[in-house]
Amino acid sequence: MSDISSPVSNLAAIDAAHHLHPFNDMKKLNENGVRVMQRAEGVHIWDSTGKKYLDAFAGLWCVNVGYGRTSIAKAAFEQMQELPYYNTFFGTTTPPATLLAQKVTSKAGPHMNHVFFTNSGSEATDTWFRLARVYWKALGHSTKTQIIARKNGYHGSTVAGASLGGMKYMHEQGNLPIEGIHHINQPYWFGDGGDLSPAAFGLKIAQELESKILELGADNVAAFVAEPIQGAGGVIVPPETYWPEIVRICKQHNILLVSDEVICGFGRLGSWFGYQHFGFEPDMAPIAKGLSSGYLPIGGVLVSDRVAEVLINEVGDFNHGYTYSGHPVCSAAALENIRIIEEEGLVERVRDDIGPYMAQALGTLKDHDRVGEVVSVGLIGAVQLTTDKASRRRFAKPDDAGAAVRNQCVTNGVIVRATGDRMLFSPPLIISRSEVDQAVETLGKALDWLKDHYHA
């Protein structure tokens, strides 16, 4: 057995020889050499060379309670000794799975009282996708099958997830999207708003949903899915007019509204779920990431009473599930994670204290010549790059500009992410004010570097 706790000097070579990575150009990765992450504590992570980073991206939007929580490790260890696995298929459950269902739904609002567990956000997407069609069929509306999603949305990497997502570069691989999925524009004012005010633009883009429903016929449409704030698409915060209009349209045309909470859930926006921040009640809501703060893989779909009652009373068997749905060890870890969020008041902290602080700190970058807009809600934020503020002009190669800024930040010890020409922040919910300052200052210096060295 190899000892994973000691640095292995040739790990990069072994990795290049055997390990295929998600969302990577493998040839380039192997040439550059992979970065080996070794250990972490709080908001900090160390690579195998001993270099320390401030992780302003919480792993991959997920380590909400920060690294190094021994109580989560202990909860998992104890559950593993007590009962490492049992299924939830054949009339059985385990204490952690049932208690997690109770705990999660207790945060979700009075209309949302059930959850179906999965191992990931992608599987949650596949689950609600099937459930939406099952729901309408059970009600005798078997033509209501089409699903409307958004360009540049992200809902995972399975066939349904990548199809519902609006990433062209994902559709190009594997003949996607599958049949029955349609994409409307995203509420990205900086990029697409032209001369419209954000408010007018938000309405206009929301109304694309109505046009699409009318084009397809409401009798053929099952659901609309969106992230409250688009994450992987670049932290796109919709104008205030957007969500109320989406809600009106879904109600009026009798379309299920699905809120993808995989990033926005569990405190990220200063609310338990993103729909609570924006003030609406979805019919279903996929969750993952912050549910366990990434300590173990677990996801699920929150199911409203409207849908659950039909599933329970009309459908009979729902022929869907994962071997590890409600896995007891992952559920125990998630329960402890939520207990920490409650005990430390992290949702309130994000809403009232550190979220507004990050908004103000990021806001100091607004005057920078290379910054087009700054958005920040709770502990998710984005800084848009531009070559000309007034006209909102973009770099000729937006991906390259964003990657250059990100690489500067990482070299200087702060991990941020770039989506195209937007620099994304999504730190652990425990980040301190001085750590926020450090992250923002490092980005500020990278923007100075961009101005001086990068003219493409």
Ligand X SMILES: *Cc1c(COP(=O)(O)O)cnc(C)c1O
Q: Which one of the spans 46-54, 181-189, 259-267, 404-412 is the region binding ligand X (CB under 6 A)?
A: 259-267
Quote the least distance from Cβ 1 to ligand X, whole Å. Answer: 29
Among positions 42, 156, 193, 282, the unique one binding ligand X when judged by CB under 6 A: 156
Q: Of 121 and 187, which CB lies nearer to ligand X in the complex structure?
A: 121
Binding ligand X (rule: CB under 6 A), the pick from 112, 131, 249, 263 is 263
Q: Are 429 and 62 in contact (CB under 8 A)?
A: no
In the window 272-291, what residues touch ligand X (CB under 6 A)? 288
Smaller CB separation from ligand X, 124 or 249: 124
Distance in Å, CB of 158 to ligand X, minimum:
7
* CB nearer to ligand X: pick between 287 and 350: 287
Q: Closer CB to ligand X, residue 118 or residue 146?
A: 118
User: Which position among 59, 66, 96, 121 is part of the footprint of ligand X (CB under 6 A)?
Assistant: 121
Sheet holding 221-226, edge to edge: 112-118, 299-304, 284-287, 256-259, 221-226, 146-150, 181-184
CB of 454 to ligand X, least distance (A): 29
Q: Does 126 bind ligand X (CB under 6 A)?
A: no
Contact with ligand X (CB under 6 A): which of 54, 131, 206, 232?
Answer: 232
Number of Cα atoms under 13 Å in the Cβ half of residue 14: 7
Sequence-separated (6 or more) residues with CB below 8 Å from residue 164: 125, 129, 147, 149, 153, 155, 156, 177, 181, 225
Structure tokens at 34: 């992979």
Q: Is the separation of the CB atoms in 361 and 440 below 8 Å?
A: yes
Range 286-315, binding ligand X (CB under 6 A): 288, 299
Tell me which residue of 375, 245, 58, 48 sits closest to 384, measured CA to CA. 375
Nearest to 334 by CA among 101, 28, 22, 143: 101
Of the listed pieces 182-190, 258-266, 395-403, 441-449, which binds ligand X according to CB under 6 A? Answer: 258-266
With CB under 6 A, what is the number of residues at the site for ligand X?
16
Q: Does 405 bind ligand X (CB under 6 A)?
A: no
Instruction: Please pick, from the candidates 64, 88, 94, 120, the single residue that binds ligand X as defined by CB under 6 A.
Output: 120
Nearer to ligand X, 126 or 373 (CB): 126
Beta carbon nearer to ligand X, 228 or 372: 228
Taking CB under 6 A as the rule, does residue 55 contact ligand X?
A: no
Footprint (CB under 6 A) of ligand X, residues 60-79: 61
Give the residue nearest to ligand X (CB): 121
Only segment of 9-17, 65-73, 224-232, 313-321 that touches ligand X (CB under 6 A):
224-232
122 binds ligand X (CB under 6 A): yes
Q: How far is the CB of 13 from ligand X (least distance, A)?
A: 28
The single residue among 55, 126, 227, 421 that binds ligand X, judged by CB under 6 A, is 227
Using the contact rule CB under 6 A, the part of the chain among 119-127, 174-182, 245-253, 337-345 near ligand X is 119-127
Q: How far apart are CA 378 and CA 362, in angstroms?
A: 12
**Cβ neighbourhood burial of 23 (10 Å; 0-12, 13-18, 19+):** exposed
CA distance 144 to 131: 12
Nearest residue (CB) to ligand X, 159 versus 216: 159
Contact flag: residue 231 with ligand X (CB under 6 A): yes
Closer residue to ligand X, CB minimum distance, 290 or 402: 290
Out of 131, 149, 226, 262, the only residue in the binding site for ligand X (CB under 6 A) is 262
What are the backbone angles phi and psi of residue 343, rounded to the nearest 5°? Answer: -60, -40
With respect to ligand X, which residue has the nearer C-beta, 288 or 377? 288
Residues that bind ligand X (CB under 6 A): 61, 120-122, 125, 154-156, 227, 231-232, 260, 262-263, 288, 299
